[in-house]
Amino acid sequence: MFWKTPEIVAWAKGRAFVWIDDEITEADRAWVKEHYDGPALLHRIDPRCGLAIDDFAALTAWATGLD
């Protein structure tokens, strides 16, 4: 698990959040799922490319699916 995962969850305080990073792992996703009740999207990007069109589409789809 990444060192900042608990810090980001604490900062979110139950609000919906998206975390975009190039170091997100399945361990981070599992930790957030277990310790966070609010909506959260952990979106890993390719550090060689940065944010791409597909990333923006995924972020938009997630955000539009919120209540």
**CA-wise closest residue to 18 among 27, 26, 31, 29:** 29
Q: Do strands 17-21 and 40-44 pair parallel, antiparallel, or not at all (unpaired)? A: parallel
Element (H, E) at 18: strand 17-21
- Rounded to a whole number of angstroms, the distance between the first and last alpha carbons of the chain is 29
- pLDDT for res 2: 85
- pLDDT for res 67: 78
Strand partners, 41: 18
- pLDDT for res 3: 92
- pLDDT for res 23: 95
- pLDDT for res 16: 97
**CA-wise closest residue to 20 among 33, 60, 38:** 60
Q: pLDDT tens digit string along 13-46?
A: 999 999 999 999 999 999 999 999 999 999 999 9
Question: Could you state, in order of their start, the residue ranges of all structural domains in the chain?
Answer: 5-64
| Main-chain dihedrals φ then ψ at residue 20, nearest 5 degrees | -110, 125
